[in-house]
Every structure is written in structure tokens, then in C-alpha cells.
Structure 1
């Protein structure tokens, strides 16, 4: 069966124009002759997520869908921060549903953004069910963490920046939770580079979907579950990654922890475990580049307790 793509390269280009001036053009640094970091952890709110959040809200505003009732979102933390930040910038209220396991560092930042926070359940899926119920009750705009076209197109602007910033790269390593970031980057890059999704073995929604031929529910655990803890890959993300031939590799918690420590000790980059997951594919050998392959690693999240880095 042919699956149609709901997000096109043109959508990503339009998103880039729409969110220009709202998000940072994050820098890249070469850490080795054939390895480059894309420092998306320096984005507003400490992750790539504001790209999609702004594109969703601004698109809704253009269409008259964003009214005084504000927005509602569910998140393991990073998406909630981005949605709350975008809502504050556009002057609308935000109600954010998060699991009870959300790290204190992320909860504190949510409060500073003025969001109304509701903690419920032990994982993202339960928070999402509560957010949908709230949307049905209030008519607020639902801002999905990863499975809306506007979200994916916004995240894809990371890929557009890479095409302008890095000359002649072959591969991009991207951490995967629900799939919004990797779907957007793969759509933006097309045939320019291969895209490899890196997932924790304990939360492998994309790997499982590619093996099964369709998104399926599965268990979520491990050190990166707060940011990469989607129980199921998004349907739009699945269509995009399958169409673009995205590869999948898995890394264990030990590799993620070691990569996070190396990012701090070697580069003074304070990342959360999810933000270190893509790099863990290289440091652990789960992904082994060819001799002349140039690799870009998206370092995607910084919302962590700095005391845990030492």
C-alpha cells in the first residue's frame, strides 16, 4: 500500500519563512575532520521544539484557529516548554499536561514561562489523553508533540539550515522519540544526505514501526524516556521516514550515559540524555561511518540538571 506524504519540502520552506525571527539559527561546529555537531540545544527553551511549535501556532493564527481560548499540549517536557514559550510570545494562554515523572528542571522552566501545568500519569501517552480531553472540553488549539504537519515542517527547518551551513555532508544522525524531528529533517534533505534515526533500545518506536511495517505501541523506559519516550511512532513520521529510506540504529542506556558525559567533558555541552542519544551511536560504534563519510550529529536538547554532569 502506498502511503501519501502529508508534509512536503515546500511545507518546510514555508515554515522557515513563517518562523523567521522567532527561532534561532543554531550554530554548527566541526569536532573532527568528518564530524560536525548541529547545536540545536542552543535553541530557545533548550531544544529544537520551538520550530514546530511556532509553525503550528502561527499557521493557526493565519487561519483564524488560534483564539483567546489558547493552546493545550502534552509533553515529556521539551515540547511543553516550546509550546508555552510560543504561546507566551503570541499572547495566548497555555495549558501543558506532563507526566508525573517529568524532571524538576523542566517543570521549573515551564513555570517561569507562565504555563498552567497539569501533572498526570507516568508517561507521555497518559498526559496526551488528558490533553485531548481538555481540548475537547475547551476548544483550545491542540499542539501535538510530533504528529501534526505543521510541527514536522517546523522541525524540518533544522535540515534547511544544515544545507546552508555544512558543505557536502553525507549522513545526519538524529535522536528519535515520536518522530517529528527526523521526519522533518528527512523531508527537508531528500536525496541530499542519508538520515539515520538513533533510539534508546528501551524506547524504540521507529525501529519497531519499520520492522512491523506500521506504527505499533510498545514499552517505554530508560534514561532518555523523559524526552524520547513516545510509546508509538507518529503516523505522519512513519510515512516520511519510510518514503525517505531512513535507517534505524539502537543504543543502550550505558552508551547514552557515556556519550552525555563525553559531550560535557570533551566539549562543555550540557545535554539531557535524549540530547546525547544521537552522538551515542558514534561513540558506542552502533553506527560506523565509512572511511570518507562526513557525518552531522544533531545535539538536540539541553534541559537537564547540571549537577548530574559531574
Structure 2
């Protein structure tokens, strides 16, 4: 199923008042940071979660059985938050190695947390079984039309907030965010996906001309740990000529430290990959190129920022 800009505009209407319109920080005339880390529960994910739940509510498929999802952390936080706000129960399946900070936060949001498996894919299989057995609404972390459309509202915000820009750098794991942003603004600006060398889902999909499984590891795997790019993301990146930029571990760590030192932005490693592409020289803009860096997540252990 294709996600369109009309779907994203409808999502924007649906979730208005439920999510924050996050600010931008103009670092220079040619560099802007989109501070999506200031979104509810510390990532962009509530946009898609609210759109999925509210759409289901309109259709009568959001029942008292509530919702289930699988997540390394951020999607689970978003679904738990949206479910609590809408007054329905949430059951969140996370890998056993999910960050303790995210698991603890899930429990503060009144979610039933189930830790199973070592990767997102295993947690998702368990979530599917739970959904089939209970009748609860399944929410995919990144590969559902309503989720992608919700994430795309971030792109509409950029168009409203900025007079103009040439390039947007977006972190990629499963690809829900880049699918939404590319669909929203792909005909207005260049959209580039940035991913860790040790979790190259987009890079591998573009090389194979289809989503394929990859080995996942490294410092950013807790938030960019999907094994393969979503089908909707692949469709969107192909339609909008999105390419992949790969950044190494040292560059990610250095960018995360710099974001804290220079801007007092405490970000998770996965959210630092976009800034890392610039600071490491993996992406070198033209002299007058106006670049937007999406800083998309803040759920991290502050003691690890040095």
C-alpha cells in the first residue's frame, strides 16, 4: 500500500494537539537542526503511534483490548504514551537487551512490558502472536501506512518552519521516518538517509534493489536495530531518489559528544548519526547548500555522554 502526501496531511490534522510541533535551531545560514528529540517521550515516534491509534479509533478497530507493539524502546514508548492518553491498555514487547532506561520509562507509562528475544524481529513475532490471541491492535514500529504517514508530518513542519532548504539528513533504521519525510518533501528538497556502518538496512536494500536482512550491531543498534528496511520505506526511497550515507562508530560517538558540548543536546547514538555525517565529512555540502539535520531521539543514559 502506498503512502501519499494526502495521507500525511490527513495525519497532520488527526494528530494536531496530540504531538508537539518541535522547534528548529538555526546554527548558521546554511545549517539547521530540527529538534525532534523534544517530542513527547523523547523521539519522533508519537507522530506515527497517534495516527495509527486514532485512525483505528475512527474505524472502530481500537477496542478495550488495547494495543500491542514490539520495539527496542522508542516505538514502544510512543505507543505506550499514545495508548495512555487515549485510555486503552498497551502491551510492549522488547528485546531482553533493550536499554534499561527505556524499559523503566515504559513502565512509568503504565504499559505491560514483556522482554523476549535478542533482536527486534524476535520481539515482533511475539507481539504478533499476542495480537492474534487477544484481538489487540498491532502497531508496527515502522512499516505500517498510518505509522509512516504520521512520521511524515515532521516533513510538513519543516516546510512550514523554514523559508527554504536544499537537503535533509534523516537517520534510518527500519525506515518509517525517512519514508514519511521523503513522501512529504521529496519533490521540494533532497532527502538523504544516514545509517551506521554496522546497521546498513537502507544501503543493503538499495544495493540489492529490495529490502534484505543485514547483521545489526554497534552503538546505535538500540534505536536503529531493525534487521531490514521496511517495504513502505523502500518504495518511498526509490520513488524519491534517496541515497544512503554510512557513518562509523567513532564518528557517531564524536557527534553525540559534540551535540552535547556545543548545543547542550543530550541525544541517543541513533539520533547522532545525521550530525555525524556532516562532522565526519561523509557528507560535504556545497558552499551555499542549506542543510537540515533531523535530531530525532533523546532516550539515552546521560552518564555515557562525555
TM normalised by structure 2 equals 0.99
Q: How does 1:53-202 map to 2 (within 5 A)?
A: 53-202=49-198
Distance 1:70 1:253 in 2: 39
> CA separation in 1, counterparts of 2:167 and 2:42?
24
Deviations 1:166-199 (A, max 9, x none): 1110000000000000000000003110000000
Q: For 1:102 and 1:272, how far apart are their aligned partners in 2?
A: 13
Q: Deviations over 1:260-309 (max 9, x none)?
A: 00000010000000111111100111111011110000000000011111
Partner deviation per Cα, 1:152-172 (whole Å, 9 max, x = no partner): 000000000000111110000
TM-superposed deviation, 1:33: 2.0
d(CA) in 1 for partners of 2:175 and 2:188?
Answer: 20
Written as runs of structure 1 = structure 2, the 5 A alignment for 1:13-52 is: 13-52=9-48
CA distance in 1, matches of 2:144, 2:75: 13
- 1:94 & 1:218 partners in 2: Cα distance? 30
Runs of 4+ in 1 over 6 A off after TM superposition: none
Partner of 1:295: 291
Please provide the CA RMSD for this pair: 0.7
Aligned equivalent of 2:252: 256
Shift of 1:218: 1.1
CA distance in 2, matches of 1:115, 1:245: 39
Gaps of 5+ in 1: none
Q: How many residues in Structure 1 have an aligned counterpart in Structure 2?
A: 306
Pairwise CA distance, 1:108: 1.1
Q: Gapped runs of 5+ residues in structure 2?
A: none
Q: Deviations over 1:46-92 (max 9, x none)?
A: 00000000000000000000000000000010000000000000000
Deviations 1:85-112 (A, max 9, x none): 0000000000000011111111111010
Aligned to 1:9: 5
1:207 to 203, 206, 227: 203
Residue number in structure 2 paired with 1:220: 216
User: Take 2:97 and 2:273, find their aligned partners in 1: how far apart are those partners?
Assistant: 20
The C-alpha deviation readout for 1:8-48, integer Å capped at 9, x for no partner, is 00000000000000000000011122000000000000000
> 1:220-270 deviations in whole A, cap 9, x for unaligned?
000000000010100011001110111110001111000000000010000
Cα distance in structure 1, aligned partners of 2:250 and 2:122:
27
Q: TM-score if structure 1 supplies the norm length?
A: 0.98
